[in-house]
Amino acid sequence: MKIVIIGNGVAGTFSAQNIRNLDKDVSIHLYSKENYPYYTRIKLPQLISEQVTISDLIVFNKNWYVKNNIELNLNSEIKKIDTLHKQVFLNNNSLPIHYDKLILATGSLPNIPPIKNAKKFLRNGVFTLRSIQDALDIKNFIVSKKVQRVIIIGGGLLGLELAKQIKNRDLDTTIVEFFPRLLPKQLDFDCGTLLKEEIESMGINVILDAATEEILSEQEVITGILIKNGTKIDADLVLIQAGIRPTIDLAVEAGIKCNRGIIVNQYLETSMKNVFAVGDCIEYNEQTWGIIPACMEQAKIVASTVLGKRDKAYKGTIPKNTLKIIGIDLTSIGLFDPSDKDLVGAGWEILKNIDKKSKCYKKIVLKNKKLKGAILFGGKKAVPYISKNIESEINEDELRKVVELFKWRCKNCNYVYDDAKNDILFKELPDDWKCKCDSPKTMFERNPDNI
């Protein structure tokens, strides 16, 4: 059997690896538009700040493919799929490449919002970051044009990580975000406010609630941006990091059912027989992902399905995101703001603590004692526990211990102080703090049994 995989990102590569682990004999052929064997995109911003080199990013070198008997075709964009004859083509005149099973692992591309002139100046003052080539182009532009001021449109995870690396190059750096808070998909308003302060303390400017209307230029050289409220911000370079869109064109042309992504069922089968899809490009249950853990999970399932086993079914992946900026510990998992979804009410419980003094924020979302999500800012100790127990029923006392949200009771008057309901942790109260009965802080006992 001949399996053709289009795309050599994490989804395509791990599908190939999982297939090989299950079957030593099938022939596996990977096609990639890019010119590198599998590399991680996580550290692309550091390639711009020259803190890593290309070889630091490569996860599997070419020998890995040889050793696993996987044929790797680089610089090979598949331009057409003929599902009737089970063939793909590199261009209009190329010989057909036959497949028995085809896996689409075409990933996603940066979204470019409808900003006037953004497309006109793309790769000439306006850039997005998705690939090694993009990072090299940005770095070369910064050096060759002696860039001083950079605007990053998009205050999501990638926008922030990119901004930090731009700042590391000692450039004037401004993040412009459409929503009224940073990380709108991962944080609630309170935590977004704390994060903004942290980012600004690194010397990065943050402008929120700002819809970019136009890329400004003089004599075909970009000079900045215009925001909808009329404000102009000067810049020599504009980086757009405003979300992603699944790469579906090839599938659409081949008549495969697509919506936002390529639609798949729980076995990662598309609407076309013998064609499967995996990774950022898929849509399952009206949802798309765009994170590595989802790709890895799906790669296991598709390997099984392609080999005719159908013994694993996809149920979706719980989103987990960690901001990768040295000096900031921030993880957001699962459903972190039920109020956003009008879900508050029966069974929902939120344990929350904002400690502004220590720049610490903890928020745990429970439903009927099941852990549904969390935001952990200013400490990562509890992340493994939360990740392990997400969607499971938990013991609240155990949880409170791990995330250090305690209840305290005054031995004199029985007054209860709950860390999870206050803006400051009990252990950090000022020493002269007094209970309402006038007892000192030391009269409080932690987590007595019967409260």
Ligand X SMILES: Cc1cc2nc3c(=O)[nH]c(=O)nc-3n(C[C@H](O)[C@H](O)[C@H](O)COP(=O)(O)OP(=O)(O)OC[C@H]3O[C@@H](n4cnc5c(N)ncnc54)[C@H](O)[C@@H]3O)c2cc1C
Residues that bind ligand X (CB under 6 A): 6-12, 31-34, 41-42, 44-45, 77-78, 105-108, 129-130, 158, 247, 250, 279-280, 290-293, 295, 324
CA atoms within 13 A on the CB side of 2: 11
> How is residue 37 written in tokens?
């064997």
CB of 14 to ligand X, least distance (A): 8
Give the nearest distance from C-beta 58 to ligand X in angstroms: 13
Least distance in Å: CB of 6 to ligand X?
Answer: 5
Q: 251 vs 403, which CB is nearer to ligand X? A: 251
Q: Toward ligand X, which CB reaches closer, 125 or 156?
A: 156
Q: Considering beta carbons, is residue 41 or 407 the nearer one to ligand X?
A: 41
In the complex with ligand X, the residue whose CB is nearer, 193 or 265, is 265
Shortest distance, CB of residue 240 to ligand X, whole angstroms? 12
One-letter identity of residue 40 = T
Query: Residue 435 Cβ, how far from ligand X at the closest point, in Å?
Result: 45
> Measured from the CB atom, is 32 or 332 closer to ligand X?
32
Which tokens hold the place of 83?
Answer: 């599902």
Q: What are the structure tokens assigned to 136, written together?
A: 């090299």
- Token digits of residue 156: 């999501």
DSSP, res 448: -
Contact 419, 425 (CB under 8 A): yes
Provide, rounded to whole angstroms, the least separation between the CB of residue 135 and ligand X.
Answer: 8
Q: How far is the CB of 64 from ligand X (least distance, A)?
A: 16
Cβ nearer to ligand X, comparing 280 with 419: 280
Q: Which residues pair with 350 in a beta bridge?
A: 365
The secondary structure of 270-309 as a DSSP string is -SSTTEEE-GGGEEBTTB---SHHHHHHHHHHHHHHHTT-
> What residue number has its CB nearest to ligand X?
107
Name the minimum Å distance from CB 401 to ligand X.
29
Q: How many CB atoms lie within 10 A of CB 189?
A: 11
Question: Closest CB to ligand X among 153 and 420?
Answer: 153
Q: Which string of DSSP letters, residue by residue, matches 410-444?
A: ETTT--EEEGGGSSS-GGGS-TT-B-TTS-BGGGE
Write down how long the chain is: 451
Residues near 304 by Cβ (< 8 Å), separated by ≥ 6?
Answer: 18, 22, 310, 311, 312
Closer by beta carbon to ligand X, 7 or else 192? 7
Query: Which residues, listed in sequence order, are joined to residue 409 by a DSSP beta bridge?
Result: 416, 445
Rounded to the nearest 5°, which phi and psi values hold at 259?
-125, -110
By the 8 A CB rule, do 152 and 161 touch?
Answer: no
In the complex, the smallest distance separating the C-beta of residue 113 from ligand X, rounded to whole angstroms, is 17
Give the closest residue to 97 by CA, choosing from 105, 87, 84: 87
Closer of 204 and 281 to ligand X (Cβ): 281
Contacts of 224 (CB under 8 A, 6+ apart): 149, 151, 215, 216, 232, 233, 234, 235, 238
Q: Are 107 and 250 in contact (CB under 8 A)?
A: no
**H or E element that contains 140:** helix 132-144
Q: Please, which residue, 246 or 338, has the CB nearer to ligand X?
A: 246
Least distance between ligand X and beta carbon 104 (Å) = 8
**DSSP states of 49-98 as a string?**
TTSS-HHHHBSS-HHHHHHTTEEEE-S----EEETTTTEEESSTTSPPEE
Rounded to a whole number of angstroms, the minimum distance from the CB of residue 63 to ligand X is 20
